Amino acid sequence: MDLEIQRKTLIEELGVHLEEENLAPLAARILATLILSGRKGVTFDELVNDLHAGKSTVSTHLDHLQTTNRVKYFTKPGDRKRYFVIDPDLILNIMDEMITKWETERKLHLKIREYKEQCNCKAKETGGFQFDLEFQEDFLTYLEETSNAVKKFKAKLLLRNN
């Protein structure tokens, strides 16, 4: 498959995926374009032309992506254009959000497990219903292992960036 066709197909596919992150369709396509462009950057005019979108619409979405720390720009000496790239800290910020979410969820599930254990103790005395705690333990293990894996990957990225 021709590289340009493959790039456009990937921009669309990745754009659809990024829409699930509460991004407008064009903002998602802008982000996908920048992801596939790497560190070389993409100019405003290139985004307008590549995405067949109006200047004001592209500008609005670029402003939003910059405000939400997803996109940054740089300039080149002697060139008045701005070159847009993915914020280098974006993946690290996403990892931090994921870790925080999982750790919060883990704390909640520890409380749930404690409650269920107390219910099981009482049920043993009265002969009542007892909770099966295997799922709870497995889920807690999943949350811990997932958080640890992401933390390990984040540390590797930080070492590579320094």
pLDDT tens sequence across 64-99: 999 999 999 999 999 999 999 999 889 998 899 999
Report the distance separating Cα 103 and Cα 10, nearest Å.
33
Structure tokens at 73: 């720009």
35 band by pLDDT with thresholds 50, 70 and 90: very high
Average of per-residue pLDDT across 91-119 = 94
CA atoms within 13 A on the CB side of 117: 9
Residue 86 phi/psi, 5-degree rounding, is -65, 140
pLDDT (mean) for 131-143: 94
The pTM is what? 0.75
Residue type (1 letter), 86: I
Burial of 47 (0-12, 13-18, 19+ CB in 10 A): buried
pLDDT score, position 1: 66
pLDDT, residue 127, reads 85
Q: What is the pLDDT of residue 88?
A: 86
Task: Output the CA torsion sign for 52, 77, 32, 24.
Answer: negative
What is the rounded distance in angstroms from the CA atom of residue 110 to the CA atom of residue 44?
A: 49
